């Protein structure tokens, strides 16, 4: 048997990543994603390490900035990059429609 993910498995990860795929892409990713996942599995062969974790190489104490108002972004400039906007608002398509519930 060929070493690949099932179509359903590919569609599941595509759903998690919010990406739609064509039939052709699904076929391709069945093989390619499996290769990557096989590689990642190698982590289970590693032994002898302790339980401490290293989230990031950052050992300074959290130094928070003072809670004072600084320069703000200009809403007009911000909106210029938004694909759809009206007035001072960004437009989004329907989020909840009849019959689908929320």
Please give the residue ranges that form the binding site for another protein (CB under 8 A): 10, 12-14, 16-21, 29, 32-33, 35-37, 39-40, 42-44, 46, 48-58, 60, 62-65, 73-74, 77-78, 80-84, 90, 92-95, 97
Q: How far is the CB of 98 from another protein (least distance, A)?
A: 12
Q: How far is the CB of 70 from another protein (least distance, A)?
A: 9
Query: Cα angle at 80 between 78 and 84, to 5 degrees?
Result: 105
Q: How far is the CB of 56 from another protein (least distance, A)?
A: 4
Cβ closest to another protein, residue 1 vs residue 102? 102
List the beta strands (DSSP E) in the chain: 85-86, 89-90
Distance CA 102, CA 97 (A): 8
Cβ closest to another protein, residue 44 vs residue 88? 44
- Please give the distance of CA 76 from its chain centroid, rounded to a whole number: 28
Label residue 18 exposed, middle or buried (CB < 10 Å: 0-12, 13-18, 19+). exposed
């Amino acid at each position: 048997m060929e070493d690949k993910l099932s179509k359903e498995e590919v569609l599941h990860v595509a759903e998690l990543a919010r990406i739609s795929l064509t039939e052709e892409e699904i076929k391709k990713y069945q093989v390619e994603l499996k290769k990557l996942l096989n590689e990642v599995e190698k982590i289970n062969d590693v032994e002898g390490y302790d339980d401490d974790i290293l989230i990031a190489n950052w050992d300074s104490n959290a130094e928070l900035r003072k809670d004072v108002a600084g320069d703000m972004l200009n809403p007009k400039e911000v909106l210029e990059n938004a694909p759809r906007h009206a007035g001072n608002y960004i437009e989004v398509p329907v989020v909840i429609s009849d019959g689908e519930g929320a």
